[in-house]
Chains A and B, each alone.
Chain A
Amino acid sequence: MEIKKGVAVSPGISIARSLTIDSEDYRIPRRPIEPSQRQAEIRRLRNAFRSAIDELANLDAAQDRTQEGRIRDIFAVHLHFLRDRGLQKKIGDLIRSEKVQAEYAVSAVLREIASHFSKAKDVYISERAADIRDIERRLLKQLLGKRREDVGHLTEEVVIVARELSPTQTAGFDRRFVKGLATDAGGRTSHTAIVARSLGIPAVVALEDLTEIVGAGNTIIVDGNRGIVIVNPDEQTIRQYEQYSREFAELRSRLDAIRGEPAVTRDGVRITLLGNIEFPDEAQLVLDKGGEGIGLYRTEFLYLNRETEPTEEEHYRAYAQTVAVFRDRPVVIRTMDLGADKYTQSRRFAPEPNPFLGLRSIRFCLQNLTMFKTQLRAILRASVQGDVRIMFPLITNLQELKQTRFILHDVMEDLHEESIKYNKNIPTGIMIETPSAALTAASLARDVDFFSIGTNDLTQYTLAVDRGNELVSTLYSSADPAVLRLIRMVCQDANKAQIETSICGEMASDPEFIMLLLGMGIRTISLAPPMLPEIKQIIRSVTIEECNSVARKALSMNSERQISSYLRNAARKILPEAF
């Protein structure tokens, strides 16, 4: 039994079988297997060889037969290597003798062979090392690709263990079977955290070397409340955790009971509680947990895990499906926000050195107008089905905003010419995510119908901290005085311009921040569905007077630690059982 401490990022307890998925950079750690699994690994190896050979044979056959070119030679060489009678046997022997997974054995054997080749004096031979590495990649793709399929075809409950999780990997996690997440890397607002909270499953990150310790099919406990992961727990520990799990479930269902109650403060101020979603399927969950609409529909899922861009119809179907669930309640659709991520990076000839500061999100859209307009058309078409609102991410200045609105107007004209119906008065808003936007909120406010403060990115850009980097994750805090001042500035400027400001970052689902946000004038909050009942409970337990006082106090403090501590105590007094 091994106990690892990390950072708790999504509450709950899960006890399940582990399923490790590897990242795509093919750095294969040595992972032990049970003696009984050796046969299965040999079979996986054999299948990987067979599939790789088939794949190559097809590629070879598709080549122009008359070409006596280098490419045909390469396929022939690779096929010969793959069919080499000693190779598969050597890898199989390693699996059997060392009891390691097929991926590791493939990598170990082929890297050794590549190294022999590269040491040869003859340049022609040393070049063959590249062929060997290519074959290694091809085999690993077969082995790891199948693992990815494993995630897509789960039949039992599992906890996913990985070095880190990208949007590509998590898209399509089936909540019926994925019951917890545990990663080596990551911080409080990493993608892992966001996905776990959306799914309502426990997650612990920053575990450093969990992937080295966990073997295939180990039992694993994820304690998302205390930030602990236990590998191969003993009987006593399992029983203890089953008890914790029961208690947590009871608390959850007590909170769920207030789903029908309105989110009104004790002194009668109505707060609008909305949900953050990624897939249309989650829309119903928002309603079930007491949300009144969608404050942030992240549309990136439509672009991930596929070779081609989504069509207008695919966009439209997803939006229409979501709007249908909410009818006349608001659905805020955010345009594509990808960047600093595989989608935009893999399509580049040379990856950007600073993707977070690079061509991402709205900037990417403004340079890929066909793709952007396709999404806008679909959103506009869906706008006649309900109360659809459109939101643009990462707007950093007025010029960018004007450009974007211009494009939107263009698309409206196109639809008009085609006699396709859309809402001419569709409310249009922007996300305030950067210091520049926050500091010029007054002028931006005149050109939009609403703001939504993306506290994750705002904190990141303001504090110059990468929220996914576990080396600096302790520096990242939304309770930093700089961040609070910017939020207050935005709220005040929005107020003057008489437009609505909502909060849609992870701050909105953190019980410690609710009083502060209400005290700064926020009346609309959007968060991941599982936390809706708890946040509603807090809202129903406070008065705006109390909140104003908390905000005043917090904004007068100078240190993040002081502010954090103060907010935690204030929240604890209101809702002791949440802590």
Chain B
Amino acid sequence: MQTGKDSVQKVVCEAEIEIKNADGLHMRPAMQFVDIANRFSSDVTVTSGENSADGKSIMQMSMLAATYGTKLEIKAEGVDAQKVIGALRELVEEKMFGEPPPKPKT
């Protein structure tokens, strides 16, 4: 995780977060993501491959359609940038949007 500061106390925080639930970033996870992002004041940009989306916009996030295993690049900019990255990582990687991981192949 890289942290940088500029002169107005704004923090920029970037992280890579991996999709761990089987169904990936479909509507329900996207809504949860956007809800969490909107609780913080920082701007959130999510990049998946070639596509970028405003992490606070459901319209844009639902278009990303990131699948299981995708590594999202998240950039947060603002006073609580670190907090929002932390919350999002928890949602995506630890809680897995409250959804199951893929079934192991036999």
Contacts and interface: CB of A to CB of B under 8 A. Distances in A.
Given A80-B34, A86-B54, A124-B26, A113 B65 contact: no
A77 interface: yes
A84 B65 contact: no
A128 B27 contact: yes
A466 to B, nearest CB: 43
A73 interface: yes
B58 interface: yes
B59 A86 contact: yes
B57 A84 contact: yes
A122 B68 CA distance: 14
B57 A77 contact: no
Interface in A103-124: 113, 116-117, 120, 122, 124
A73 B28 contact: yes
Interface residues on B, range: 10 to 19
Contacts of A120: 63, 65
Contact of B65 (A77, A86, A87, A122): A122
A77 B31 contact: yes
A83 B63 CA distance: 16
The dominant DSSP class at the B interface is: helix
A122 B51 CA distance: 15
B60 interface: yes
A135 to B, nearest CB: 10
The dominant DSSP class at the A interface is: helix
Nearest to A116: B63
B62 interface: yes
Contacts of B54: 85-86
A479 to B, nearest CB: 59
Interface string A69-98: 000010011001101111100000000000
Contacts of A57: none
A86 B37 CA distance: 14
Given A116-B63, A120-B63, A73 B27 contact: yes
Interface in A494-551: none
Contact of A84 (B26, B27, B28, B58): B58
B69 to A, nearest CB: 15
A113 B62 CA distance: 12
Given A124-B65, A125-B65, A87 B27 contact: no
Interface residues of A, number: 18
Name the residue among B38, B54, B62 with the largest chain A CB count within 10 angstroms. Answer: B62
A76 to B, nearest CB: 6
Name the residue among A76, A113, A124 with the largest chain B CB count within 10 angstroms. Answer: A124
Contact of A125 (B34, B38, B56, B63): B63
A120 B54 CA distance: 18
Interface in B39-69: 54, 56-60, 62-63, 65
B26 A113 contact: no
A86 B60 CA distance: 9
Nearest to B67: A122
A87 B59 contact: yes
A85 B63 contact: no
Nearest to A117: B63
B95 to A, nearest CB: 17
Contacts of B60: 86
A125 B27 CA distance: 8
Nearest to A77: B27
B57 A125 contact: no
A77 B29 CA distance: 11
A291 B28 CA distance: 67
A82 to B, nearest CB: 9
Name the residue among A73, A81, A84, A85 with the largest chain B CB count within 10 angstroms. Answer: A84
B59 A84 contact: yes
Interface string B59-94: 110110100000000000000000000000000000
Contacts of A76: 28, 31
A390 B38 CA distance: 66
Nearest to B60: A86
A499 to B, nearest CB: 69
A85 B31 contact: no
Given A73-B27, A76-B28, A76-B31, 15 more contacts: A77-B27, A80-B31, A81-B58, A84-B57, A86-B60, A87-B57, A87-B59, A116-B63, A117-B63, A120-B63, A120-B65, A124-B27, A125-B62, A125-B63, A125-B65
26 contacts: A73-B28, A76-B28, A76-B31, A77-B31, A80-B31, A80-B34, A80-B58, A81-B58, A81-B59, A83-B58, A84-B57, A85-B54, A85-B56, A85-B57, A86-B59, A87-B57, A87-B59, A120-B63, A122-B65, A124-B26, A124-B65, A125-B62, A125-B63, A125-B65, A128-B27, A128-B62
